[in-house]
Structure 1
C-alpha cells in the first residue's frame, strides 16, 4: 500500500471515529495545512484565523493539522470532498493542475504591486458579479462550480528571479539555465526568458538547489525562510514582479450550509480581515528578509540597474507570458481574456501596472 493511501486510510478511520465522515455534524472542524507553521500561510494565517473564530464564541472549534499530516499540497480539494478535512488552510490552487484554470491570473507579471494590493484586488475579483462566460463570474467559475466556498489568503509578495550565485545581467546569462517553476504560468515565463523550467514544489526544491540540479527559482523573497533558502540564494533581480501566488481558505458547500447564519456571517468577516492582516505581515516580512539576507551577502539588483537590452528582454517576456497564458486557456475553452482584462483593471485601479505589451494586447486604454 502506498504512503499516500496509508495516509488517506488513517485519515478516514480518524474521521469515522469522530462521527464526521462527511460534512461537519459537530462543532469541531478539522482544519489542515499542507505546509508547516513556519510558513506565513500557516503560522500567520491559519493560526490567527483559528484563534479569531474560536474567540468569537460562535460554537466552532478546530482540530489543526500541519505540514501535510492529513492532506498534502495539491490534494486539498479531494480531501475536502472525501471528508478527510473540513477546512483547507490553504487550498493551494496552482498545485491542482487544470482544476482552477483562472486562478493563476494573480501570477501574471506586474509592476509596483505588493501583497496587500493583490489580496485586496483578489477579494474584489471574488466578490464581483461580472460575467466571464455562460453567465458565470470568476467566483462561480473557479470556486462555486466545484462545490466549495473560498476566501483568499494573503498573496505572496512579488515573485523574483533568484539564483544560487549566477549573475543574470544579460539575456545570454538566462538562456538554458535550469530554474525551478512552481506552476504552468511560471513555466511559460521561464520559457519566454529562454531558461529551462524544472517543475517542482518549493518544498521539494531545497535539495535541487543545493545540488545545483536547478540553479535558480521563481519565488517571493518573503518565502525564503519557509524553505531555508536564505543560505542558498545569493543573487536576485528585483523591481519587476513575476506575479503573486494566491490560494484559498476553503470548505465544501455542504459544510458551509451546515453552519448557522451567525457562524457564516462571523466566518466571512473574519476570513476577510485575516486575509488582509496576513498580506500586511507578508509585506513586512519581504522587507525584513531582504535586509537580513543583504547583510549576509545576497545581491539584489534592481531591473533598472541592468542593461537596456536586459530590461527590454525581461519586459517582452513578461508581456508574452500574459499573451501565451490567455491564448492557451482560450484554446481550452476558458474565459482567460475576460478575466485578464478584469484583473488588469483591478491592479491598475490600485496603483499597480501591467507590462506595456500586455496592455496593448488587451486593448486597454
Structure 2
C-alpha cells in the first residue's frame, strides 16, 4: 500500500472510531422523575410539567425530564432518589421532618397570605443562613417552596368558634401542626396528603390542615362542610424538588447551569405564585358554591397567638443546636416578606 492510500485508510479508521463518540456526546440525557402526585393534580399539570419543559428548552434539548409513575410512597421519595432508584423526585419536608429541622421557620403560622412571597423569602433566607448545615446531603436540592396558608378543612357543619374543633381528629402534615392541634384541643393524626380522601370518607379523621384548592385536587368536595381560617394561616407546608447527586455530577457544567437557571429562586417564585393564584381561584369558586369559612379574629385570635407563641422559641432552640442564629433568621425572613409584599 502506497503512502497516500495508507494515509487515507488511517483517516478513515479514525473517523469510524470517532463516530460512536460523537453519537454518544449528542445523545439526549433522559432523567426519570418519580411523581407521586396524581396526573391531573394542579402541582403536576401547572408546576412540574412546565418545569420539565423549561429544562428541555434551557438545555437546548440535551436534557429531558420524564415524569413517570411513582416508584414508592410519597414519604419514601427522598431515599428513592438518594439511592438512585429515581433520578428526580419531589417531597414534603415534613414527611421526613427529623432530617430537616431548620426548614420549619418557613412553616410558622401568622406570616403572609401570599405563597409567592413566602416561597421567595424562604428560599433567600435558607440560602443565606442554612446551606452550611447540609440538610439535603446525598441529593442535589433544585428548589423549595411553600404552600399557601393552611386552613382547617372539616366535615363539621356550622363551625362558629375554635371550641367547636375540640375533640376533633385532624390530619397533620408535620410536628408543627401536631402542636397546633394540641393547642386547639384536637388530636393530630399523621398521614400524607394522598391518603386524605380515604381517611375522611372512612371517618378516621374529622378534618385536616390543607389549602382550599386541595378540595378540588383531592376530590374532597362532598366531604368538606366548613373551613376554619386565621390571618397568615395556621402554618405552611414546605415542599422541595431534588436530584440524585451522582446523576447531577454526570451532567456537563453547561447543562447544570441551564437547569439551575429555571430552578432555585426561579422555581420558588413561579411555583409559589402559581399556587397562590390557584388558591385564590379556589376560594372564590368554593365561596360562591356556598362553602362556609369561619375566620378567627379579635380576642379569640389573640388568645390563639399567645398559645402558639412557644413554637417560634422552640424553633430558635433547634436552630441553635445546628449552629444557626434562629433569631437572625426570623428577622431576615420577615424583612424579606415585608419587602416582597410591597406593591
Report the TM-score when normalising by structure 1: 0.77
Say yes or no: does 1:292 pair with 2:292. Answer: no
Q: Structure 1, residues 104-159: CA drift from partner, whole Å, max 9, x if none?
A: 3222112333110111012202321x3xxxxxxx1232445x12221334421110
Shift in CA distance, 142/158, structure 1 to aligned 2, threshold 3 Å: farther
**Residue pair 1:192, 1:320 contacting (<8 A) in 2 also:** no
CA displacement, residues 53-100 of structure 1 (integer Å, 9 cap, x when unaligned): 11231511223214x2x1321112211122111111x13221114122
Choose from 185, 194, 199 the match for 1:208.
199
Please state whether the residue corresponding to 1:203 is helix, strand or coil.
helix
In structure 2, the residue matched to 1:100 is 100
RMSD of the TM alignment (CA)? 2.5
- Cα distance, 1:190 vs structure 2: 0.8
TM-superposed deviation, 1:42 = 2.0
Q: Which consecutive unaligned segments of at least 5 residues does structure 2 have?
A: 1-26
Question: How many angstroms apart in 2 are the aligned matches of 1:40 and 1:340?
Answer: 35
Q: Counterpart in 1 of 2:304?
A: 314
How has the CA–CA distance of structure 1 residues 33 and 139 changed in structure 2, closer, same or farther, with 3 Å as cutoff? farther
Q: 1:323 aligns with which of 299, 307, 313?
A: 313
Q: Distance in 1 between matches of 2:216 and 2:327?
A: 31
Q: In structure 1, which of residues 227, 235, 240 is the aligned counterpart of residue 226 of structure 2?
A: 235
Q: Structure 2 matches for 1:1-365, cutoff 5 A? A: 27-56=29-58, 57-66=60-69, 68=70, 70-88=71-89, 90-128=90-128, 130=129, 138-144=130-136, 146-240=137-231, 241-271=233-263, 272-304=265-297, 308-327=298-317, 329=318, 333-334=321-322, 338-339=325-326, 341-351=328-338
Structure 1 residues 26 and 282: alpha-carbon distance in aligned structure 2, compared to 1, 3 A threshold: same
CA distance in 2, matches of 1:262, 1:199: 42
Structure 1 stretches lacking a partner, 5+ long:
1-24, 131-137, 353-365
Q: How many residues align?
A: 311
Q: Deviation string for 1:295-350 (max 9, x for gaps)?
A: 2221123223xxx44223322233233234445x469x4457x3464134313432
CA distance in 2: counterparts of 1:44 and 1:343, whole angstroms: 31
C-alpha separation between the residues in 2 aligned to 1:299 and 1:160? 12
Richer in helix (by share): 2
Runs of 4 or more consecutive aligned structure 1 residues displaced over 3 Å after TM superposition? 166-171, 323-327, 333-336
Q: Is the 8 A contact 2:34 2:67 kept in 1?
A: yes
CA distance in 1: counterparts of 2:126 and 2:302, whole angstroms: 33
Q: 1:171 to 1:285 in 2, by over 3 A?
A: closer
Judged with a 3 Å threshold, the aligned counterparts in structure 2 of structure 1 residues 347 and 38 are, in CA distance, closer, same or farther, namely farther
Q: Residues 91 and 209 (structure 1 numbering): CA distance in 2 closer, same or farther, change over 3 Å? A: closer
Q: Is the 8 A contact 1:152 1:246 kept in 2?
A: no
